[in-house]
Structure 1
């Protein structure tokens, strides 16, 4: 899967010294995470059978409910100014554990027939397509791309608002 990196550049004038209000900024990351989570859930909530290249269809709702967001706590090694949005993220909002292997990977990469080697190694012996589950569209990347301009604008605006002047 491709991993897009988004950079936000903000210009502002500093008086003498300023301090970043991380609490305010973390709330913005929560807001961005909720928005991308809602968009990605909407992409997989169509109640129809999905076809090759489409987004996964909605049958039981487990995939949709498993999409969560998480703003990690700051530690000595990381500042905690980021948000993770993905299916089956631990600590995500309305989290429901998917059963077995990582199901979204099967949807993205697909599964070929006879993926496990058995006694018969004949490929395509059953005829038809070699796919057991054809690859589906990547709903997470598309949700991120759909909300990227809004999230960049929101983050840039909040970066300027969260800077506070330090009195010396």
Structure 2
């Protein structure tokens, strides 16, 4: 898994690129986007539940992540984002930990001031040149505490691609003014 964002979870509908946004009835577009969000969200929840921790998916223990998968339509109505959101039941946003993973080693922190050492005027101790980079490399090479999991949201989008295209094509065709 990479730490950089990608467009794996992106779907583009052809045929309506030449129209201005003002040519569409936004209420009908938003309705279609809400329906697509429900379809993909339900499929993602189903993938999450049925995998039971296999195929690289995370394991569903409490259901908090499952309940946090919600669609959100943009203000303009031409975009829907389906993702797990942070809820009050979560201390940390752990779907991010599941997606990107967590390395084993200890965090690289600042140095504590030992008694009688360091720059007295500034009151701090410095690391040797390159020591921080060595600590970071050692942490990165130490393995995974939580291994990165397969992204069930992207799999749901790919599974429902033909349904999504049909729903959005119908919505765009009906909404032309």
Aligned to 1:10: 15
Match of 1:157 in 2: 170
Q: Is the 8 A contact 1:88 1:98 kept in 2?
A: no
In structure 2, relative to structure 1, the CA distance for the partners of 1:21 and 1:47 (3 Å cut) is closer
Q: Distance in 2 between matches of 1:115 and 1:37?
A: 36
The answer on 1:88 being equivalent to 2:93 is no
Larger helix proportion of the pair: 2
What is the distance in 2 between the residues matched to 1:117 and 1:64? 33
TM-score scaled by length of structure 1 = 0.71
Secondary structure, aligned partner of 2:83: strand
Aligned residues between the structures: 139
Asked whether the equivalents of residues 66 and 98 of structure 1 are also in contact (C-alpha less than 8 Å), the reply is no
TM-score (norm 2): 0.67
Q: Would you say the 8 A contact 1:56–1:107 is kept in 2?
A: yes
Paired residues for 1:42-121 under 5 Å: 42-46=46-50, 48=52, 50=53, 54-73=56-75, 79-88=76-85, 96-97=87-88, 99-117=90-108
Native 8 Å contact 2:29 2:175 kept in 1:
yes
Aligned partners of 1:161 and 1:80: how far apart in 2? 15
Alpha-carbon distance between aligned partners in 2 of 1:97 and 1:55, rounded to the nearest angstrom: 23
Unaligned runs of 5+ in 1: 12-17, 74-78, 90-95
2-side partners of 1:152 and 1:115: how far apart?
46
**Larger CA Rg, structure 1 vs 2:** 2
8 A Cα contact 2:33 2:77, kept in partner: no
- Are residues 112 and 58 of structure 1, via their aligned partners in 2, closer, same or farther at CA, if it must alter by over 3 Å? same
Sort the Cα spacing of 1:86 and 1:115 in 2 relative to 1 into closer, same or farther, 3 A. farther
The verdict on how the C-alpha distance between 1:98 and 1:137 changes in structure 2, with shifts beyond 3 A counting, is: farther
2: CA distance, partners of 1:97 / 1:86? 16
Gaps of 5+ in 2: 17-21, 112-134
- Residue 10 of structure 1 and its aligned partner are, at CA, apart by 2.7
Equivalent-residue separation in structure 2 for 1:42 and 1:138 (angstroms): 13
